Amino acid sequence: MEINLKDLLKKYKSHPYEDHEIRTPHTGVVHINVEDGQEVSGPTGRWKHRPGTLLYVLEREGNPKRITSRYTGFVAKLRKDLDGSFVQAGEPVMLIRHRLNKEEIIDRILREVLYIFPAPQRARYFFTPEVSAAMEKDKKKALNLKEGDEILIMSLMKRDTLLSYEGPAGVLYKVYFNHGDLKEQGAPLLGICSPERLPFVEKMIQRIRTEWDD
Amino acid sequence: MEQNRLLDSGKYMTELAQRINYLADIKGGLEWGSLRELSERVQNLRSKLFDLKEDELFVELDQIERRLDYLEDRVAQDLSSIEIVNIVRSPQRFTLQDILENCYDSYTELGGEGECNIDPAVVVARATITRRVKNRLYYHQVMVIGHEKGYGEEFRNGGCAKPWGNEKALRYMKVAEIEGIPIHSYIFTPGAYPIEDYPGAAQQIARNLFRMSRLKVPIVAFISEGGSGGAEAIGLADIRLMASRGYYSVISPEGAAAIEGRIKEGGKVPRELVEHCAAQLKMTAEDNLKLKTIDRIIEEPPLGARRGDYQFFRRLRYEMVRATDEVVLQTKSFRTFRSYALKRQSQEKTEGFSDEFDIHIKWSLTDSEKKRLLELRSKKYRSMGKGYKELRQSLGSRLSEAVETVKQNYYDIRYGLLRQRSRQVQKLIEEVSSEGSVFLKTVTEPVRVAYDFVFPKPKSENGLSQQDILRRSIFMQDWEQYISPLANEDKTVSCPNAEKYGCKDLWVPDLYGEFCGVCPTCGHHFPLEYQWYLQNLFDPGSVREFNKHIVSANPLKFQGFDEKLKKAIERTGRRSGIITFDASVFDIKIVVAMLYSDFRSGTVGSAEGEKFIRACDRARATRRPFLAYIHTTGGIRIHEGTLGVIQMPRCTLVVREYIDSGGLYIVVYDNNSYAGPVASFLGCSPYQVGIRSSRIGFAGPRVIRETTGADVPPDYHSAKNALKRGHIQGIWDRREFRKNLFEALMTMGGPHLYYK
């Protein structure tokens, strides 16, 4: 599928947000605790153990459940009319609009444009010595990949398995792990870009980096 | 003199500046008196050193010195508790290394040196100390163990021992025991470093206390900065000396102020409140001597000893030798010699001290002396920390007490005298019969089978065999069981793990009734009141409480505590944070001590300690297993100061005696168990178990954050993590508590359940 990069950029420019709809998890009486446009924060702390801003309290059978924000952003489309009334499960109460920063936009665009090679298992990942040496030798030179190339070593509990690349041929554009990182199954490892699309992608990222205001 | 001064004008100024800084340390800043002005004048003189004439310079310096002398006298006349704390915390105060250099003739640091050390906050050294008797020198070998907070402060954590530091101390205590040399321990710690990594702050302190209680060598401790549990880790000594300007406390004044003032984390604690708490905690040497938590005070200069106070080090050396002599002499069987030597020493004390001793006393002990040493240690700690009240007992209680005494004598004869003989005979029979049984089996087996057929083994009253009982859970009991009053509310609650495991909301009557407060989806245990356990854990009607007449008091006259105590009594209808009782579990008779949350968060003070000790002694006398069920404990009660702290070594010592006599001691933690009790008489148990969803640790997350500066994960203290770290030996489900306890009693106790 051909992706129109200009349109993609335009899309993010016109709406640089990620919207999260907040729906009631079950029935109950809603007591709203925020105002429209109010800034809210998601969970904080090293282990995300401090809950985010209290959005509303949903009370059912004498059990007031505190619903806190999981995202950082601001409140939009708040259904103030629901305050104090009984609602059904799945009722939208508000949107948390998270403004995307430069890196988040680049990341999202890349995930749409690039072919992502995911981690097949929860393991530690390394580049093969040949690939590693080639990348070290000339850091600027793009690494071309084609199906069947042995590129990664998957290591877990002293079992090292060679991984061959599977996917469309292209240039290795982004690496999503550090040497020896433990990655969960399905986490992105590599982002591969087709050679013909590469100049556009680079140009666009350059434009975002220079023009975009955080 | 003038000539010397002239040569050393720079040194003179530095000295003055140091004295000003020291006063500023004590008074909490330069704002007091004219300290700022004096400090500026010294700075000024420094900068104009070469512009001034010599005479002018010294006139000015003499003036400053006179004023400083006056200020120092003023400060020394009326030192408040917080000022004594400041003296102890001053960087100019002497540390362990100064003592090693000045009181001992030679020393070799063991287990690493300086920075290259498993824990630089704990220093262990083999040292030699000399005694002069009539111009002849005698050398004594000792093991010096203590905290070091100076000489490389950045890696010593201010003298806060990490768990492995305390483990190192324990290791060398054992070495001292093997070699038969006394231990001199020097306590310079604001508290133990609160981390749970193996061997665990609390558990290691408990292990140290457990071992020290029966260490067969004299131990003399010197306290300069005695910060609660950290101090106790090396402080269970036969004689406890304390520096006159030291402090020994259950908690830092700042910590106490944060609790008393209910200050939120990160909030500023008002200085007045800190000063107030410091005074209330009764932490000075005089206070501790009055409370009998120490034996003697060693006089320091009026404003505390500093690194260069050699006279003080001479005095300290003399006192350490004298104290060790005293411990050794008390164990001697020659009464005349003992009384003569001790008398000589008291004369030395009244006539002032000199380096010379009248007699030479060897510090090695014979086996019988070691036995006496342990007896004396036990007696000493049993008589300490009695800050509780005893109510007048009713006639009925006194009668039952008399019955108990008779019972105790009966148990002594039955299990002490007769049992020992019968066991010897039994052993002999077993040995003989095992040889012959091989041949006899072929003959006896058909007879035995026929006998079992005709006379089957009786089942228990309710028709269940022991195996049936084991398989039975409390759900299978009659419906006449106790239901928590929490179940009387018509509402639902959410499980805290709902987001993670998708637990459904729980209807409260179901949750606290049928489900026993356990989430059926994820197994999370909601807290239940202690009455639930009293009713569901033990055989119906078997719980018989004792020592109810020992009640909590306010021995330090801590302001505002009387009201808090009164409120707790009104709310709970009880008068201490512990309930001790006899009970039975599937007909196994046990003695139980239960710390519970409703009364001052299950904190341990003198009454709790005393009741625990009496329960433990009762278990020993009746040869019954002893269960410590910890519904909740928040640590040592800060309002009882060091009288609370002393319960740590006290109770551990009694537990040790119980275990040594062959008793089975099991600890079960529920809800929250933290600090002192876990770091002593609970943590020392060989069998510790946590109830699911309970939290076990040394210091709570807030204290960890405030002292170490590092955040801890939310599940840092969870029972699961405690199990992973090896602090506990298992996790039990509340619903299976009764069954598991029975199993534990049967397996850990085995055939020697009541006596070994």
ipTM of the prediction:
0.76
Collapsing DSSP states into helix, strand and coil, what is residue A206? helix
Q: Domains of chain A by range and CATH?
A: 17-99 (2.40.50.100), 103-211 (2.40.50.100)
Options 3.90.226.10, 3.30.1130.10, 3.80.10.10, 3.40.50.740; CATH of B97-382: 3.90.226.10
Q: What pLDDT sits at residue B464?
A: 52
Cβ distance of A47 and B714 shorter than 8 Å: yes
How far does B489 lie from chain A, in Å, by closest CA?
A: 9
Cβ distance of B494 and A65 shorter than 8 Å: yes
Quote the CA–CA distance of A167 and A171 in Å, as a whole number.
11
On chain A, the residues whose CB falls within 8 A of the CB of B711 are 45-46
Over 90: is that where the pLDDT of B475 sits?
no
Q: What pLDDT sits at residue B235?
A: 96
pLDDT in tens, A153-175: 999 888 899 999 999 999 999 99
On chain A, the residues whose CB falls within 8 A of the CB of B491 are 61-63
CATH 3.90.226.10 residue ranges for chain B:
97-382, 528-752
Beta-carbon pairs below 8 A across chains A and B: 25
Strands (E), B486-625: 492-493, 506-507, 544-545, 550-551, 578-585, 588-595
Dihedral of CA atoms A34, A36, A37, A38 in degrees, nearest 10, equals -10
Element (H, E) at B612: helix B606-622
Cβ distance of B711 and A60 shorter than 8 Å: no
Distance of CA A187 to the CA centre of its chain: 11
Cβ distance of A63 and B491 shorter than 8 Å: yes
Over 60: is that where the pLDDT of B347 sits?
yes
On chain B, the residues whose CB falls within 8 A of the CB of A60 are 492, 505
Q: Worst-scoring range by mean pLDDT, B388-402, B610-624, B719-733?
A: B388-402
How far does A168 lie from chain B, in Å, by closest CA?
A: 38
Residues 180-209, chain A: which have Cβ within 8 Å of B? none
pLDDT per position in chain A (214 positions), as tens?
456 777 888 888 888 999 999 999 999 999 999 999 999 999 999 999 999 999 999 999 999 999 999 999 999 999 999 999 999 999 999 999 999 988 888 888 888 889 999 999 999 999 999 998 988 887 777 789 999 999 999 998 888 999 999 999 999 999 999 988 899 999 999 999 988 888 888 888 888 888 777 6
Contact in structure between A61 and A117 (CB atoms under 8 Å): no
Question: pTM for the full model?
Answer: 0.87
Give yes or no for B487 touching A (CB within 8 A): no
Cβ distance of A62 and B713 shorter than 8 Å: no
Quote the CA–CA distance of B86 and B301 in Å, as a whole number.
15
Q: What pLDDT sits at residue A1?
A: 46
Collapsing DSSP states into helix, strand and coil, what is residue B490? coil
Quote the CA–CA distance of B706 and B29 in Å, as a whole number.
23
The dihedral sign for the CA sequence B705, B708, B711, B715: negative
Cβ distance of A62 and B490 shorter than 8 Å: yes
Q: If pLDDT is split at 50, 70 and 90, which confidence band does B48 have?
A: confident
Instruction: Classify burial at B160, counting beta carbons within 10 Å of its beta carbon; exposed 0-12, middle 13-18, buried 19 or more.
Output: buried
On chain B, the residues whose CB falls within 8 A of the CB of A26 are 505
Give yes or no for A26 touching B (CB within 8 A): yes
Cβ distance of A47 and B713 shorter than 8 Å: yes
Cβ distance of B494 and A45 shorter than 8 Å: no
Give yes or no for A140 touching B (CB within 8 A): no
Give yes or no for B510 touching A (CB within 8 A): no
Looking at the domain B528-752, which fold is it? Answer: 2-enoyl-CoA Hydratase; Chain A, domain 1 (3.90.226)
On chain B, the residues whose CB falls within 8 A of the CB of A47 are 713-714
Locate the chain A residue with the closest alpha carbon to B506. Answer: A63
Cβ distance of B491 and A61 shorter than 8 Å: yes
Locate the chain B residue with the closest alpha carbon to A50. Answer: B714
* SS3 of chain A: helix, strand, coil, percent, to 5: 20, 40, 40
The total number of residues shown for chain A amounts to 214
Give me the residue from A45, A47, A62 closest to B492, CB to CB.
Answer: A62
Give yes or no for B709 touching A (CB within 8 A): no
Interface mutation vs chain A, best among B265, B486, B494, most A CBs within 10 Å: B494
CA-wise closest residue to B138 among B361, B337, B344? B361
User: What are the C-alpha distances in Å from B355 to residues B96, B501, B592?
Assistant: 21, 72, 53
Give me the residue from A45, A49, A63 closest to B494, CB to CB.
Answer: A63
Cβ distance of B492 and A49 shorter than 8 Å: no
Give me the residue from B493, B711, B713 closest to A63, CB to CB.
Answer: B493
Q: What pLDDT sits at residue B439?
A: 61
Q: If pLDDT is split at 50, 70 and 90, which confidence band does B667 have?
A: very high
Helices B81-89 and B253-260 pack at an angle, to 10 degrees, of 130
CA-wise closest residue to A117 among A198, A195, A201, A187? A187
Other Cβ atoms closer than 10 A to B747: 10
Contact in structure between B538 and B530 (CB atoms under 8 Å): no
Dihedral of CA atoms B266, B270, B275, B278 in degrees, nearest 10, equals -30
Interface mutation vs chain B, best among A44, A46, A57, A67, most B CBs within 10 Å: A46
- What values do phi and psi take at B233, rounded to 5? -55, -30
How far does A63 lie from chain B, in Å, by closest CA?
A: 5
- Please list the residues that pair with B284 across neighbouring strands: B247
Give me the residue from B489, B492, B713 closest to A60, CB to CB.
Answer: B492
Contact in structure between B522 and B497 (CB atoms under 8 Å): yes
* B741-744 long-range Cβ contacts below 8 angstroms, 24+ apart: B741/B537, B741/B585, B741/B627, B741/B666, B741/B668, B742/B469, B742/B470, B742/B585, B742/B586, B742/B588, B743/B470, B744/B666, B744/B687, B744/B689
State chain A's mean pLDDT as an integer.
Answer: 90
Over 50: is that where the pLDDT of B479 sits?
no
Residues 49-88, chain A: which have Cβ within 8 Å of B? 49, 60-63, 65
Could you tell me the two tokens for A194?
């087709």
Contact in structure between B89 and B25 (CB atoms under 8 Å): yes
DSSP state of B306: B
Q: What pLDDT sits at residue B671?
A: 95
**CA angle in degrees (0–180, nearest 5) for B215-B218-B219:** 85
Q: What pLDDT sits at residue A4?
A: 72
Q: What pLDDT sits at residue A136?
A: 86
- Please list the residues that pair with B626 across neighbouring strands: B591, B665
Quote the CA–CA distance of A172 and A49 in Å, as a whole number.
37
Q: What pLDDT sits at residue A96?
A: 97
Q: If pLDDT is split at 50, 70 and 90, which confidence band does B651 have?
A: very high
Give yes or no for B493 touching A (CB within 8 A): yes
Quote the CA–CA distance of B338 and B322 in Å, as a whole number.
13
Phi-psi category of residue B636: left, alpha or beta, with phi > 0 → left and psi -120 to 50 → alpha: beta
Quote the CA–CA distance of B27 and B35 in Å, as a whole number.
10
On chain B, the residues whose CB falls within 8 A of the CB of A61 are 490-492, 505, 507
How far does A48 lie from chain B, in Å, by closest CA?
A: 9
On chain A, the residues whose CB falls within 8 A of the CB of B494 are 63, 65
Q: What pLDDT sits at residue B469?
A: 54
Contact in structure between B361 and B226 (CB atoms under 8 Å): no
Preceding omega of B199 cis (within 30 degrees of 0)? yes
Element (H, E) at A99: strand A92-99
What amino acid is encoded at A76 in this protein? A
Over 80: is that where the pLDDT of B49 sits?
no
Quote the CA–CA distance of B595 and B604 in Å, as a whole number.
8
On chain B, the residues whose CB falls within 8 A of the CB of A65 are 494
pLDDT in tens, B528-569: 999 999 999 999 999 999 999 999 999 999 999 999 999 999
CA-wise closest residue to B679 among B734, B631, B709, B635? B635
Collapsing DSSP states into helix, strand and coil, what is residue B180? coil
Quote the CA–CA distance of B155 and B617 in Å, as a whole number.
44
User: What are the C-alpha distances in Å from B344 to residues A140, B71, B219, B328, B356?
Assistant: 88, 40, 21, 15, 12
On chain A, the residues whose CB falls within 8 A of the CB of B493 are 63
Give me the residue from B491, B711, B713 closest to A62, CB to CB.
Answer: B491
Interface mutation vs chain A, best among B486, B493, B506, most A CBs within 10 Å: B493
Task: Using only the alpha carbons of chain B, give its radius of gyration.
Answer: 30
